[in-house]
Structures are given as structure tokens and as C-alpha cells.
Structure 1
Amino acid sequence: MNLVRLSPGLIFCLFFVVSHFTNKYVLSVLKFTFPTIFLGWQTSTGALLLYVTGKFGWVEINGFTRSAALLWLPGSIFFLGNIYAGSKALAILPIPFFFVIQNLSELVFFLIVRLTQREPSSWMKILSQTLMLMSAVTLIMHNLQFGPNGYIWVSIHLFCFGSYRVFQRSSKSNHLSDLEQQLINYMISTFLLVSAAHPTGDVFGALEFPFLMSYKFHSGCFASGLLGFLLLLASVKMKSGQTPLQCAIWVLMAKIMASGLSVFVFITELSPLTVYCILTNHAGEALSIYSDKIQR
């Protein structure tokens, strides 16, 4: 019985880890750094799979009006900025570093909500945000070998991610289901990425990519598109059967699992101070979740 209740969260963690590892492999190991092509493939695959499974009734997509899609357009722009900047950062930074700085999106969300909606905050919430901020800043200052690009891109990523969460919470199109929101995100992102592929030169760069005819490259790209879709379904399934706090705990566990396992899969240099920053950052995230539980 307990295993049945835990299965949605465990499945989410599995797809979360494998999806990030696959993306990291294509972007960092194979060095396929042409985001409009890679992300265009992922979003078009996600849109197609959502559309087909919705038509067959395997997932619930009731459809949406053009006006609803237009109201959701800012959310789709934040989503595109989130995945584009995230892919650029993931190609450069180790996975544990990526999650430490990504966690600052919680700080972005916290500040925007506090400034716009005047929501009160407990001392525990402020302490948790401070822990995550200080650990991330210390990690960056102690690991400057990745250059400014990785940290700039991950900063854009966390801003878009945090802004997307705020928009999702306050949008007038909140009658859209998570899958309908994601379908709009996929469709708009695919259109914009395809439109930008030629002007950015990614098309010509991809044609000259040395692994273009490699089965490893094709397998990685195919898996990235499929796993992204399965991660979406696992996330929606988990949210439908558990409270937001339980979901937040599963997301934290998934990040810790991905960070811990990544050091055995990818080359990652970790000093004692870096390990301390990573652990402190995740402790701050756990404290943030606990403060939300107390406030409720």
C-alpha cells in the first residue's frame, strides 16, 4: 500500500534524474551546443506527443480558445527563456552547481510575491532564502574556472523560472490545466525556436557537427524528447495525488539524487568548500519547505 502511494513520486524522481543526465550528455559530453535545434526538437516532440495522446484520450486535454492561448503568451515566453538559458548553463556547469544556483529561483519567486502581493514572511523563510543565496554566491566565487557564461546563463534561467512560477500562480488563464499550459508552451516555443534557427546560424553549425551521424547522438536526442514528455506526465500525475508540500519534497529529493549520482557519471571536481555549499543550499531548500508547512 505504501509503495503504491510512493510510486508517483519515485517515478517522477527516476524521470527527473534520467532526463537531466540525458540532456547533460548531449549538451556537455557530445557538446551539441545548438540550442534552437536541440530545444526545437524537444518542444516539437512534446507538442506532438501531447496532441496525439490527447486525441486518443490517454491524457486529458479539453482544448482552449485562442484568447486563452494569447493570455498565456507571457508564460510561454518565460518558459522559453527558462529552457533556453537552462540548456546553455547545463552545457557548462556540473549538475550539482546547476541546481544550487537554480534554487535561487525560489528567492526570485519569494521577492516578487512579497513585493507585488504583500504576503508576510516568517523568520524561518527569510533564513532559508539567505542560506540558499549565501551558499550559491560562495560556490560561484570559489569556482570561477567555468567563466562568466555559465553563471550568466543560469542566472537568466533562474529569473525566468521564478517569473514563470509567479505568472502561473497569478495568471487569469488559470482555468487551463497543467497539460494545456504546457501544450501552449511547446507550440509557441517550437515556432520561435524554428524561426530563430537560421538567423542564429545553428542550422549550419548542426550540419557540421561531428557526431551528426553517430547513433549515440541520435539516441541521446530521441531520449531527451521522450524523457521530457514522460517527466511532464509524471509531474502532473504526482501533483494530482499529493499536496504541494509533498510535491516540493519529492522535487528536493530528485535534485539531491541527481546531484549525488552525477558525480559518478560525469567528471565533477568537488572541493570540501564546494560540497559544503551544495549541502547548505539543499538544507536551505528543505528549511523553506518546512517553513511553508508551518505557515499552512
Structure 2
Amino acid sequence: MNVRRSLLGLTFCTCYLASHLTNKYVLSVLKFTYPTLFQGWQTFIGGLLLHMSWKLGWVELHSSPRSDVLMWLPASALFVGIIYAGSKALSRLAVPVFFILHNVAEVLTCGYQKCVWKEKTSLSKICSALFLLAAAGCLPFQDSQFDPDGYFWALIHIFCVGSYRILRKSRKPTVLSDIDQQYLNYIFSMVLLAFASHPTGDLFGALDFPFLYFYRFHGSCCASGVLGFFLMLSTVRLRSILAPGQCAAWILCAKVFTSEGHSPVPFSLFHVACWHVSLTCCQDNKGVFTMSVD
């Protein structure tokens, strides 16, 4: 059983690494900065593969009451905010910077549980959350490539991630499984982003993209959709088998592996510190991580 869990964790780390590096390549190297199209494509591929997997009997999708589906729509709207703002932020920020800022969402979750739900919170967890917030606050002063727009979109991403986690926890118990929730997220995101592509100017702006007819662009976009789908499946499987603390440890290991190759020394130190702090904050939460994408 330990070997099986280790293989699952390594599979998750591999998908996490490949998915985020592919996204970063499309967004920053190829500079395809049209998030409604890029994220709309990813959610379309994810929804299509998930539907095919259901038809083949590989996953289970349940017929849910309309009331539960409607109650989940605010969470789906936050999911759109997560992937849209995350795409904008990742296109402008270095990978380790993005991950450190992403971890601040745990501070929002911890603060909401303490102040609104009146949950008992250990002093070590509160101190860890404050240290994580302080570390993220120091980033603009250490970032030699400081981009105000990147940090602005990162703040929106943080708010959406924290709100999504809070809303997700407040809706428990529910008949919607993790797969059901993700399927609804895919459908809602695909439809909303498709309609938003014209008002945002992405639809016609992409026609001037210099690599529009290059195979490396097509291959990268296809890989991003497929890898995002497998990342979602491995995340769901990880949460269903492992305890929340073990799941958080694998997630943070994946972040470290993904970001260390891009980290200059100051950001490496920041990231190692935030890795330890975030593990303390996350150990009582399942968390949610998307295509960046969680």
C-alpha cells in the first residue's frame, strides 16, 4: 500500500511539474496572452476527456439534483476567476514567485475559520500563517523583475482560491463528489470563457498571434489540456486516498520541484521557508489546486 501511495504521489508531482511548465512555456515564452481562449481550451479538453472517461467507465459521474447544481454555481464562478487570474499572473511572474503568492490563500482560509467559524486554531498555525503573509509581503522588494500587473492579478487569484476553498468547505456534506464538482467547473468555465472571448478582445486579437500556425504552439496547447486533465485526476485520487496532511505534503513537494529550477537564490530561500509554513497551514485542509493555473 505504501508503494502504491508513493507511486500516486510521484505521478501527481510529474503531472504538476509538466502541466505548469507547459503553461508557463505557452504564456511566457510563446507569449500567448489570451486567457479566455487558453483557459477555455483547457477546460474544453478537460471536460471532453472527463466525459469520455465516464462513458468508458473509468470514473463515476452522478446525476445530481438541480438544487445542488445551482448551489455549486458560485463555486464554479470562483473557479473561472482562479484560472483566468492565475493565467494572467503566471504569464507575468516567475514560477516561484507565483507559487509563494498562491500559498497566501491559506492565510485567508485560516483567518476565515478563526474569525467567522470560530474554530480553535493553534498558536503555531497562526504564527505560521503570519510568517507566510510576511514572506509574501517581502517579495516585491526582492523581485528584480517586479511587475505591478502580475502582482495585481496574483491578488485576484489569491482571493478566488481562498474564497473557493471556504465555499467548498461550507457546502459539505453534499451529494456532489470531487469529480462531479470538477465536471460542473469545466462546463461552466468553458461556456463563460467562450462568451467572454469577444468582449475581452481575445477572439480577434489571437488572429495576430505570430505562432498561430506553428506546430510547437499547437502541440503545447494540446499538451496543456491533456496534462491539466491528468493533474486534476491525480489530485482527486490523492485527496481520496491520503490524509489531508499527507496530501498537502505531496502538493508542496510538487511546488518545490517545479519552482526550484527557476529560482535564483533569494527566491529559493523564500520558497523553502514558505514550503514549511504552508505545510503547517495546510495540514488540516484538503485544499484545491487547478490548472493554473488550483
When the two structures are superposed, what TM-score results if normalisation uses the length of structure 2?
A: 0.92
Aligned to 1:121: 121
1:30-86 Cα deviation digits (max 9, x unpaired): 000000100110111111111121122111112223222111011001111011000
Aligned to 1:26: 26
Aligned to 1:212: 212
User: What is the CA–CA distance in structure 1 between the aligned matches of 2:216 and 2:135, rounded to whole Å?
Assistant: 36
CA shift, 1:283, in A, is: 2.2
Runs of 4 or more, structure 1, over 6 Å off, are: none
Q: Does the 8 A contact of 1:238 with 1:247 survive in 2? A: yes
Greater mean alpha carbon deviation, residues 273-282 or residues 173-182:
273-282
Q: Percent identity?
A: 46
Matched, 1:51 2:44: no
Q: Does the 8 A contact of 2:140 with 2:146 survive in 1? A: no
Matched, 1:182 2:182: yes
Aligned to 1:281: 274
The answer for unaligned runs of 5 or more in structure 2 is 286-294
Q: Does the 8 A contact of 2:26 with 2:220 survive in 1? A: yes
Amino acid at match of 1:288: C
Greater mean alpha carbon deviation, residues 3-12 or residues 151-160:
3-12
User: What is the CA–CA distance in structure 2 between the aligned matches of 1:230 and 1:96, rounded to whole Å?
Assistant: 22
| Greater per-residue helix proportion | 1
Matched, 1:13 2:13: yes
Greater mean alpha carbon deviation, residues 36-45 or residues 49-58:
49-58
Amino acid at match of 2:153: W
CA shift, 1:173, in A, is: 6.8
Report the secondary structure of 2:116's partner residue: helix
1:193-229 Cα deviation digits (max 9, x unpaired): 0001111110111111000011110001000110111
Aligned to 1:226: 226
CA shift, 1:93, in A, is: 0.5
User: What is the CA–CA distance in structure 2 between the aligned matches of 1:97 and 1:129, rounded to whole Å?
Assistant: 17
User: What is the CA–CA distance in structure 2 between the aligned matches of 1:113 and 1:241, rounded to whole Å?
Assistant: 25
Matches within 5 A, 1:61-80: 61-80=61-80
User: What is the CA–CA distance in structure 1 between the aligned matches of 2:278 and 2:54, rounded to whole Å?
Assistant: 35
Q: How many residues align?
A: 285
Report the secondary structure of 1:62's partner residue: coil
CA RMSD in angstroms comes to 1.6
Q: Does the 8 A contact of 2:89 with 2:151 survive in 1? A: yes
